[in-house]
Amino acid sequence: MTLRFSDRPGRRERHLQRRHGNPLFADPPPQIGRAELERARREDHEEASKFQKDFMALIQEATGLKPNEESEVILKLKERIDQAYEQASGLGEDQMRVKAAIPQLIAAIMGAVRRGAGDDSQALQELAQEERARTLHYRLLEQPLVADLLAPESPITAEELLPTLLCSDMGALEAALQLFDPPQLAALVEDGCALLEGLEREGRLPPEARERLALMERAQFGQSPMR
């Protein structure tokens, strides 16, 4: 069945697109029906609509902070704004304006936190480290795969994690591999070898899967993934 997927799909439709006709996921390869696709689109749209309402409320809350607001209130709000960026990165439709606004909100809040830190050098150093970690995290989230894996209700099940990684483009895979520690990578590589050997015996091995597995192996041993 020929399906027309969206140009800017949400996380549910995106995962259906990964699975559709892909031998890495099952034998025979799963064939996605139109009803399943429409349901995924509807749920993605509902999530995006709810997010927009929640985000507007978050902006109002941030702009309503008092100059002498308690640090606990500020830090909790900052955490929620970071979570909003993570969620927006996995949504369908156009989220560019939201993703551009969030760093500005964070910068304003961090300014208040720094003022509260005063001349405390250790506190200022910790804030600088946090800022670097946030920058790296936001960079990883430019890959929708990373946002999909981190979503509290991710469409990627534990059983579908390996096939998902093995069918991802190289840039997305390189980013996603940074979410796993060495033992997790070792288990993925071991299972990946077994999966690809079976598919090769059956003559159903996607040609790009070997390249993805090789990248995972390099990451496992701490080598530059794209070397």
Which of 48-57, 72-81, 119-128 is predicted most confidently? 48-57
What pLDDT band is residue 54 in, cutting at 50, 70 and 90? very high
78: phi > 0 → left, psi -120 to 50 → alpha, else beta; which? alpha
pLDDT at position 74, please?
85
pLDDT at position 162, please?
98
Tell me what the pLDDT averaged over the chain comes to.
91
Rounded to an integer, the average pLDDT of 171-179 is: 96
What's the gap between Cα 177 and its chain centre? 11
String of DSSP letters for 78-109: HHHHHHHHHHHHH-SS--HHHHHHHHHHHHHH
pLDDT at position 129, please?
93
**In percent, how much of the chain has pLDDT > 70?**
97
Residue 175 exposure: Cα atoms within 13 Å on the Cβ side: 19
Q: Does the pLDDT at position 227 exceed 50?
A: no
Radius of gyration of the chain measured on its C-alpha atoms: 21
String of DSSP letters for the chain: ------SS--HHHHHHHHHTT-TTT-SSPP---HHHHHHHHHHHHHHHHHHHHHHHHHHHHHHT--TT--HHHHHHHHHHHHHHHHHHHH-SS--HHHHHHHHHHHHHHHHHHHHHHTT-HHHHHHHHHHHHHHHHHHHHTTSHHHHHHHSTT-S--GGGHHHHHHTS-HHHHHHHGGGS-HHHHHHHHHHHHHHHHHHHHTT---TTHHHHHHHHHHHHTT--TT-
Q: Does the pLDDT at position 220 exceed 80?
A: yes
Q: Contact at 8 Å (CB) between 43 and 51?
A: no
Q: Which of 176, 156, 179, 158 is nearest to 168 (CA)?
A: 176
User: What pTM did the predictor assign?
Assistant: 0.89
Q: Does the pLDDT at position 224 exceed 70?
A: no
Q: Contact at 8 Å (CB) between 196 and 209?
A: yes
What pLDDT band is residue 145 in, cutting at 50, 70 and 90? very high
d(CA 71, CA 40): 40
